[in-house]
């Protein structure tokens, strides 16, 4: 029960508990605390942004609001019909991250390879055999991993990850991460064989940091929640816990985030190597890569000084870094190659960034959902899915009904809206689609 009268213990009181121990413990607290409180209220405080000294804490708060724009206000409120994952929220003025919904910037992205093949090279060949070969080479669906590591290229990628900062965290929380390298996952992750406007053959896939990224997420969410609790920071929801730049917890998070981002990149490289090998076996000859594009779209990076200067007036005095989180967005810096996929059955785009500073050199990463997964299953039929996928080789199953193109926004409208952000280099149409359930 109560021994020292602390708030943490007081809030654990239950109905009908005696308050006598509490009363005894806090007796005299007012007399003991008065001088401390009085001194606290009149002690001068230095601003950590510009070093100006304020007369007291209240004056410091007013100074920060007036001189540095510190304030908390609601910009907009939007009612949502459902809950979904939020990857990484940032309050840039205070240089912190809010890590929400147990997701740790899943580091999703795309890779595309333009091969030396054209449509005529595939004429008369059964594309179902190519799809089935890819499905055997790449483990699909959530929780499906490799059984062994046998390829030399796979070992090289694993060795690269083992040598990076953050590998110890991955090892501690997901010792099987090596077997996750080269696996696709489920949902909107995909592998496709496509043709561009010149009927050249492209290989295209979308995936992220898999189970190891999710487990690292859960760990850092808990760390952030514990940090806020220790700092007596009230949260309207535990999932809004955040980490402040400069703390060991913040840099541990960034270290593991960067490791997971690199895992996601090499995961896509590994899968693409296997898909290319499947295509080579299907063709009976080597398939060379004429062009390769890698593209993150759920990730965080430090904003460049050039971007920061053009985006806002530089703050006075000392300031932390500005961390740019692209969630559902790609880097569209000037001349930067990028990939913007549609949904299964629709077009995808190879683009080049235009460097629009108002968009923070960013553009959409694809067509977002118009219907939730549950709503899509109630709204659309298997016959509609079959019609939408006509002319494309895919695994016919009801499991993909929530991925029907009608469940997503119109990718062509998305691209029209992004005309100021990216230039379209190639428009791709699918001929083979591979997904996990």
DSSP structure string for 184-244: --STT-EEEEEE-TT-EEEEEEEE--HHHHHHHHHHHHHHHHHHHHHTT---SSGGG-EEE
Q: The tokens 């992750």 sit on which residue? A: 189
Measured CA distances, 235 to 93, 118, 226, 241, 417 (Å): 18, 56, 12, 7, 36
DSSP structure string for 59-118: HHHHHHHHHH------------SS------EEEGGGTEEE--TT------EEEEEEEEEE
Residue 64, both tokens: 């920060």
**C-alpha of 214 from chain center:** 10
Is 68 part of the annotated catalytic residue set?
Answer: no
Among 336, 295, 327, 283, smallest CA distance to 113 is for: 295
Among 362, 366, 361, 334, smallest CA distance to 350 is for: 366
Residue 169, both tokens: 């965290």
Largest CA-CA distance found in the chain, in angstroms, rounded: 92
Exactly one of 94, 365, 396, 426 is catalytic; name it. 365
| Residues sharing a CB contact under 8 Å with residue 140, sequence separation 6 or more, in sequence order | 183, 184, 185, 186, 434, 435, 436, 437
d(CA 254, CA 260): 10
> Under a CB-based contact definition with an 8 Å cutoff, are residues 259 and 174 in contact?
no
Which residues are marked as active site?
Answer: 365
């Amino acid at each position: 029960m109560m021994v020292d009268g602390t708030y943490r213990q007081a809030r654990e009181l239950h109905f009908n508990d005696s308050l006598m121990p509490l009363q005894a413990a806090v007796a005299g607290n007012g007399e003991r605390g008065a001088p401390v409180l009085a001194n606290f209220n009149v002690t001068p405080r230095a601003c950590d942004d510009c070093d100006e000294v304020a007369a007291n804490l209240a004056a410091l708060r007013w100074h920060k609001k007036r001189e540095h724009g510190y304030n908390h206000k609601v910009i907009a409120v939007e009612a949502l019909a459902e809950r979904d994952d939020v990857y990484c929220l940032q309050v840039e003025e205070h240089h912190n991250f809010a890590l929400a919904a147990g997701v740790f910037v899943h580091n999703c992205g795309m890779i595309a390879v333009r091969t030396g093949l054209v449509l005529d090279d595939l004429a008369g060949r059964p594309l179902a055999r190519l799809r089935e070969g890819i499905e055997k080479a790449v483990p699909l669906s959530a929780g499906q991993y490799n059984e062994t590591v046998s390829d030399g290229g796979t070992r090289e990628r694993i060795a690269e990850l083992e040598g990076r900062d953050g590998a110890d965290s991955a090892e501690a929380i997901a010792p099987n991460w090596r077997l996750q390298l080269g696996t696709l996952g489920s949902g909107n992750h995909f592998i496709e064989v496509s043709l561009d406007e010149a009927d050249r053959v492209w290989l295209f896939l979308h995936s992220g940091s898999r189970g190891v990224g999710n487990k690292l997420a859960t760990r850092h969410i808990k760390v952030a929640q514990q940090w806020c609790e220790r700092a007596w920071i009230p949260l309207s929801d535990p999932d809004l816990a955040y980490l402040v730049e400069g703390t060991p917890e913040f840099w541990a998070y960034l270290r593991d985030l960067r490791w997971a981002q690199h895992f996601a990149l090499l995961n896509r490289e590994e899968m693409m190597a296997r898909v290319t090998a499947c295509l080579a076996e299907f063709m009976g000859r080597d398939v060379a890569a004429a062009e390769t594009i890698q593209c993150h779209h759920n990730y965080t990076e430090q904003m460049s000084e050039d971007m920061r200067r053009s985006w806002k007036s530089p703050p006075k005095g000392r300031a932390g870094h500005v961390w740019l989180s692209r969630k559902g967005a790609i880097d569209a810096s000037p001349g930067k190659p990028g990939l913007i996929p549609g949904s299964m059955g629709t077009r995808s785009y190879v683009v080049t960034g235009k460097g629009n500073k108002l968009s923070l050199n960013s553009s959409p990463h694809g067509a977002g959902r118009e219907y939730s997964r549950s709503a899509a299953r109630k709204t659309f039929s298997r016959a509609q899915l079959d019609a939408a996928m006509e002319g494309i080789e895919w695994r016919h199953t009801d499991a993909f009904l929530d991925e029907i193109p009608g469940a997503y926004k119109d990718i062509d409208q998305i691209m029209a809206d992004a005309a100021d952000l990216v230039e379209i280099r190639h428009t791709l149409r699918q001929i083979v689609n591979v997904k996990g359930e």
